[in-house]
Amino acid sequence: MTAPDEGPGVRLPPPLMVGLLLAGAWVLHRLLPVPLGPPLPEAGALLLFVALALIGWALLVMVRAGNDPRPDKPDTTMVEAGPYRFSRNPIYLGFLLAMLGFALRWGDLWGWVSLVAGHFLLDRLVVAKEEAYLATRFGAAYAAYRGRVRRWI
């Protein structure tokens, strides 16, 4: 457990984690395709748009509140506005929606494998650490927020 002024202790940046998973899935999709159904490029593009909009909105709200969005930095305030009213992790939810968009665009097993792996890794290696950090940093206020707002959606 890290001290509240040191941040949550997330070492691998989540965008890098997601990017590596998607890159691996894309390589496997190109070299060893395992079709699961027809590609749905329009649905995938729509989800990518929604994902980017959600990520952008969440980052804007976080930065306006005075927090650095990098998960290895300490938070100065608890954010409960904007998309944080509906999800405690809207940026990571956006990452997962983007991964879902790619899985639909490709219509291939590897996109779905990367989505499941991404959810698992974000949930265990990032969100769990951040939640423990926020509980220490903000105490009862975070406990109340956690009781009102779901982890994902």
Q: What does the pLDDT look like over 105-149, one tens digit per residue? A: 999 999 999 999 999 999 999 999 999 999 999 999 999 999 999
Report pLDDT digits (tens) over 20-32.
999 999 999 999 9
pTM of the model: 0.94
| 95 residue type, one letter | F
Looking at residue 53, the DSSP 8-state letter turns out to be H
Cα–Cα separations (whole angstroms), residue 35 to 27, 32, 102? 14, 10, 13
Q: How confident is the model at residue 3 (pLDDT cuts 50, 70, 90)?
A: low
- Report the C-alpha gap between 83 and 61 in whole angstroms: 8
Q: Which residue has 């990518």 as its token pair?
A: 48
pLDDT at 101 over 90: yes
Helix (H/G/I), strand (E/B), else coil: 26: helix
